[in-house]
Amino acid sequence: MVVAIAITIAQVGRFGTDSATIPNGAIQAPAALVSLALGIAWVLTLRAFHTLDRRVVGSGSQEYSRIVTACLSVFGVLAMLDLLFRLNIARGFLALALPIGTFGLLVSRWAWRKRLSQQRAQATNLEHVLVVGEPKSAIPLMERLIDNPSLGYRVVGMCLPTQSGRRAAITVRDEDVRVFGDFDDVCRSVVDAGATTVAVTSAEALGHHAMQSLSWDLEGLDVDMVVSPGVVDIAGPRMMLRPVAGLPMLHIDKPRYEGANRFRKAFVDRVGSAVLLLMISPLLAILAAAIKIDSPGPVFYRATRVGLNNEPFEMWKFRSMVQNADSLKENLRSLNEGSGVLFKMRDDPRVTRVGAFIRRYSLDELPQLFNVLGGTMSLVGPRPPLPDEVDRYDGRVARRMLVKPGMTGLWQVSGRSDLSWEESVRLDLSYVENWSIMQDALILWRTVRAVFAKDGAY
């Protein structure tokens, strides 16, 4: 439907309302026929790129990436055919159809994803998962699935090794997960539990032959089988499955911080920050005047933060606290509500009246666009840490410093200050390990909603 609407708009926009029979191209084909051929090719290309694969629909950025790739591919091939065979299809027609259709497809998928998330929150349209594995590997997976119902998986039971299979249930996140049996009872347990997916977390415990037999046995039950590789927070683009001597080997690429990826990210940062600064310059002037009138002190607050490769820099923010706020921090240390090494208070007495408003909507962070324009920050990245925080980082947490800190990030759109220290670190590390342009675009989109929802902002 979206493709049909986009092509119709392009046809009417280029040829007018009575355009069905107007010739288009060197072969003088009616515009309606050219539009029909383009529509069929476009839909078939979307199918060829598996944009409706249920394994990518509803979560992550891969669904959107496939849509964009499919749209660019069909128009790229059309452009080459037009050049080779001198079809001379009206360029205005194609110039309208591509952006309108691509944007429409992305928005429609976002809308369907929102509806799917609402259905999942109401316990509908869920995959019922039977977990097969030892407790030490099965419990972390079940905790992730229980903590994130929007992923669409509901744990309905588990099968344990023979020596542990006699247990009636295992408590995970205050929920009792029924144990249906041991590894020999998986097929019967699938039927008893009403499972639609079998998740194997201990492939080494089952053995190669048992895994093969299990996949054969599940064929007749119309059940999906997934195998947990034992790695966490590694995105799909970094993983490639390759058969070696009959064994599936999972290749995990190194994180890509250099080269073309870094250049593209820097280009988007500089151009994006410059455009945003021009657009919001009147708002910046109004906020600066309000801060100056509300309380004595400078308009801007410059704080030392640690950036790429542990290099310190001055981060710009609108001042939201009284002028001597830093000197009062130690007196409030006992009232700290933050987690880990973070200092946070919901009702911080140092915050001014205007400061409370601009912090609620994250307007105090808008001057960080100057940092992005200057190259010390990025539009999207990990949270910029304080020097004393970095001094207490261990080797794992220090990987946050391999990319530039960002104005927004996974931490910003996933709860902000309401998150635990461990969860905020996990999100930052996940971003560092897997960042991509499409993921940045999704985070920027989600940031708008997070700001207006005011979740975790204080």
- Neighbouring residues of 59: CB distance < 8 A, sequence distance ≥ 6: 150, 151, 152
In tens, the pLDDT along 248-258 reads 777 776 666 56
In tens, the pLDDT along 19-63 reads 666 766 666 778 888 889 999 999 999 999 999 988 888 877 889
Residue 49's SS3 state is coil
Model pLDDT, residue 237: 62
Please compute the mean of the pLDDT values over residues 290-315 and round it to a whole number.
Answer: 91
Last residue of a domain, one of 232, 247, 276: 232
- One domain for residues 396 and 378: yes
The H helix count followed by the E strand count for the chain is: 16, 14
Q: Where are the alpha helices (DSSP H) in 324-367?
A: 325-328, 353-360
The answer to whether the CB of 31 falls within 8 A of the CB of 20 is yes
Determine, yes or no, domain membership for 317: yes
Determine, yes or no, domain membership for 334: no
- One domain for residues 318 and 355: yes
Strand partners, 231: none
pLDDT at 243 over 80: no
- One domain for residues 101 and 161: no
pLDDT bucket at 8, cuts 50 / 70 / 90: very high
Please compute the mean of the pLDDT values over residues 261-281 and round it to a whole number.
Answer: 90
**At which residue do the structure tokens 């990990």 appear?**
382
Last residue of a domain, one of 122, 152, 184: 122
pLDDT bucket at 349, cuts 50 / 70 / 90: confident
Quote the CA–CA distance of 145 and 172 in Å, as a whole number: 11
Last residue of a domain, one of 88, 122, 156: 122
Number of domains forming the structure of the chain: 3
Mode of pairing for the β-strands spanning 127-132 and 153-160: parallel
- One domain for residues 181 and 273: no
Model pLDDT, residue 58: 83
Model pLDDT, residue 234: 65
Residue 333 sits at φ, ψ, to 5 deg, of -55, -35
In tens, the pLDDT along 407-455 reads 998 877 776 556 677 777 778 888 877 777 778 888 888 887 766 665 5
pLDDT at 303 over 50: yes
Strand partners, 176: 171
Determine, yes or no, domain membership for 335: no
Can you give the CATH number for the domain in which 202 is found? 3.40.50.720
Mode of pairing for the β-strands spanning 169-172 and 175-182: antiparallel
- One domain for residues 77 and 147: no
Determine, yes or no, domain membership for 106: yes
Residue 18's Cβ-count burial label (10 Å; 0-12, 13-18, 19+) is exposed
- One domain for residues 118 and 137: no
- One domain for residues 446 and 312: yes
Model pLDDT, residue 298: 92
Please compute the mean of the pLDDT values over residues 186-202 and round it to a whole number.
Answer: 92
- Neighbouring residues of 162: CB distance < 8 A, sequence distance ≥ 6: 182, 183, 184
- One domain for residues 363 and 296: yes
Residue 40's SS3 state is helix
Quote the CA–CA distance of 155 and 141 in Å, as a whole number: 10
Determine, yes or no, domain membership for 285: yes
Model pLDDT, residue 336: 61
Give residue 112's domain range. 1-122
Quote the CA–CA distance of 307 and 314 in Å, as a whole number: 10
Average model confidence (pLDDT) for the chain? 84
Determine, yes or no, domain membership for 12: yes
- One domain for residues 134 and 116: no
The pTM of this model reads: 0.67
- Provide, rounded to the nearest whole percent, the portion of the chain with pLDDT above 90: 35
In tens, the pLDDT along 353-408 reads 999 999 888 899 999 999 999 999 999 998 888 888 888 777 677 778 888 999 99
Residues in the chain: 458
- One domain for residues 315 and 211: no
The answer to whether the CB of 369 falls within 8 A of the CB of 399 is no
Model pLDDT, residue 458: 47
Which tokens belong to 399? 């990987």
Quote the CA–CA distance of 429 and 382 in Å, as a whole number: 8
Determine, yes or no, domain membership for 339: no
Cα separations in angstroms, 83 against 59, 73, 89, 91, 272 = 38, 15, 10, 12, 33
- Provide, rounded to the nearest whole percent, the portion of the chain with pLDDT above 70: 84
- One domain for residues 162 and 104: no
- One domain for residues 270 and 199: no
Determine, yes or no, domain membership for 244: no
